[in-house]
Amino acid sequence: MYRSHSCGELRASHINTEVTLAGWVQKSRDKGFMIWVDLRDRYGITQLIFDEDRTSKNIIEKAKELGREFVIQVTGTVIERQSKNPNMETGDVEVLVTKLEVLNEALLPPFTIEDDTDGGEDIRMKYRYLDIRRNPVKENLMFRHKVSMEVRKYLSDEGFIDVETPYLIKSTPEGARDFLVPSRMNEGQFYALPQSPQTFKQLLMIGGVDKYFQIVKCFRDEDLRADRQPEFTQIDCEMAFVEQEDILNTFEGLTRHLLKEIKGVEVNSFPRIQFDDAMRLYGNDKPDIRFGMEFGELNVVAQHKEFNVFNKADLVVGIAVPGGASYTRKEIDKLVDWVKRPQVGALGMVYVKCNEDGSFKSSVDKFYDQEDLAKWAETTGAKSGDLICVLSGETNKVRAQLSALRMEMAERLGLRRADEFAPLWVVDFPLLELDEETGHYHAMHHPFTSPKPGQLELLDTDPGSVKANAYDLVLNGNEIGGGSIRIHDKETQAIMFKHLGFTDEEAKEQFGFLMDAFQYGAPPHGGIAFGLDRLVSILGGQETIRDFIAFPKNNSGRDVMIDAPATIDEVQLQELGIKLKNTP
């Protein structure tokens, strides 16, 4: 063992003990007759002291040569510090060094290994192993470990069994694009990496495993939007003989456990809101309910005058921004510009200042009188001093725009507090979603989601109106989990595949094994999957999942540290029976 203690361990009680420490030189101060070195390891920092009077000359000489991030081993005596540092756990003591060994030298790191580093994102990713030495990154990884452990502990105690499902599976073009793996032993054939273990966990239910979980890597070959990773981690769960209510209760329990164990927060209320209501009240299926600003739909009280912009809109809808009445004209103009940015896409914004004296001042005073505006205030819940912001247009678009504005205003007003946690379930999702480009319906969750009882017939007449036993767990404006009760009989599954545009042959080819399995005694079952990367980052009070992944990829799917993907040997291609498209 290279050390008797860690660098975070020594206290006043260790004074006069001889200790051996090992770690990295965080910094050193050379006063000529005395040298102090901060020695760092995962557990903390301990101050070393080299003193002309008490340390041998050759060790002093060696100490003078130490550079930042050198790896050293020292032996010495723990002594009381002259000037204690109450901000350091080891701040009462220092180690008077009697032996020093340089275990490894270090080049000057390309950025400072400090909490606030001078390194930009790119250089930190290239030297991720140095970035990990920094407290914020290291602590994120330790935090993730803690969350994973608590998840496993809770679910295992609840009778869930961790079952590993295979990574080399079959490509199912439904959904996102698969990563493919050419098979050398079966030339011309390919494995696919799982987008999720969906079918396998259903087969485990058919196999009688009853309660399954797994923390598992999943893969999607998508064009990467910001903060998406081609490989990501899922807490994947499934239960048999359950109804939706059982699953919601079980995973409320998990979420409650995590919030308590990890954050020390007791959350008692997990409100449930229907998808339609979430869209109506927040314009969003993952509403942040830490704050109000609920939507007020104004069609009835805003489409009776000569204001054509509103009259021809499908939806006129507003929110009351607390304290916004005090905004200057310039500030409001900026807000209008903000909603007109292409990322938001509104054509304009109508506003109403709710003055302290009870009167209103709006950008549409020409069309609406005080009585009209009072009704708008009532509908949006605006109080004196608030600013009502109103958007109008096609329903789905305008909801998305106002939702963006709502979140932006909450952010500006400091209402999205990282230490507050407001979970909720969004339930009764539509089964199908219309792809506006192709005019086809596709599964909103996935093709295995069960329609609500009695709604199967609607698939033929009004597919868009069919609701599913599908639910999302939303935390602070982020979907952290989603799932559904599954179809468990072959006939319903066949009907679903047909409506999703599968021919019988395609369904059989891709999912024949599951359809077969349904015939051998499939129990009712359902489940949920949590995005671990996202969950951890939200629990950690941060927004970027990359900060909680040890070795993330960039937006082009590259690992810039190891420089992957990369070209491969011609021999390897040969063995796999493939060739590159652009070679002869």
Binding residues: 174, 220-222, 229, 445, 479, 486, 531-534
Task: State the minimum distance, in angstroms, from the CB of residue 201 to a copy of itself.
Answer: 10
Question: Closest CB to a copy of itself among 233 and 362?
Answer: 233
Q: Which residues are annotated as a binding site for ATP?
A: 220-222, 229, 479, 531-534
- Strand order of the β-sheet with 350-354 is 296-297, 315-321, 387-393, 350-354, 360-362
Task: State the minimum distance, in angstroms, from the CB of residue 538 to a copy of itself.
Answer: 18
Question: Closest CB to a copy of itself among 140 and 362?
Answer: 140
Q: Which residues are annotated as a binding site for L-aspartate?
A: 174, 220, 445, 486
Query: What's 232-301 look like in SS3?
Result: EEEEEEEEECCCHHHHHHHHHHHHHHHHHHHHCCCCCCCCEEEHHHHHHHHCCCCCCCCCCCCCEECHHH
Question: Closest CB to a copy of itself among 128 and 290?
Answer: 128
Question: Closest CB to a copy of itself among 367 and 548?
Answer: 548
Non-local (6+) Cβ contacts of 294 within 8 A are 281, 282, 319, 380, 381
Task: State the minimum distance, in angstroms, from the CB of residue 9 to a copy of itself.
Answer: 12
CB 17 within 8 A of CB 59: no
Task: State the minimum distance, in angstroms, from the CB of residue 534 to a copy of itself.
Answer: 14
Beta bridge partners of 30: 35
Question: Closest CB to a copy of itself among 359 and 556?
Answer: 556
Question: Closest CB to a copy of itself among 24 and 351?
Answer: 24
Rounded to 10 deg, the angle between the 329-340 and 395-412 helix axes is 130
Picking from 485, 459, 458, the residue whose alpha carbon sits closest to that of residue 470 is 485
CB 95 within 8 A of CB 46: yes
Task: State the minimum distance, in angstroms, from the CB of residue 298 to a copy of itself.
Answer: 43
Tokens of 483: 């799932």
Question: Closest CB to a copy of itself among 219 and 376?
Answer: 219
- Exposed, middle or buried: residue 107 (CB in 10 Å: 0-12, 13-18, 19+)? exposed
Tokens of 63: 């100490």
Task: State the minimum distance, in angstroms, from the CB of residue 563 to a copy of itself.
Answer: 7
Picking from 425, 361, 433, the residue whose alpha carbon sits closest to that of residue 396 is 433
Question: Closest CB to a copy of itself among 33 and 129?
Answer: 129
CB 377 within 8 A of CB 388: yes
Task: State the minimum distance, in angstroms, from the CB of residue 222 to a copy of itself.
Answer: 9
**Which phi and psi (to 5°) does residue 501 adopt?**
90, 10
Task: State the minimum distance, in angstroms, from the CB of residue 189 to a copy of itself.
Answer: 4
Strand 44-51 versus strand 34-41 pairing type: antiparallel
Picking from 112, 23, 109, 97, the residue whose alpha carbon sits closest to that of residue 64 is 97
Beta bridge partners of 169: 192
Question: Closest CB to a copy of itself among 70 and 471?
Answer: 70
Task: State the minimum distance, in angstroms, from the CB of residue 168 to a copy of itself.
Answer: 6
Tokens of 430: 């539509």
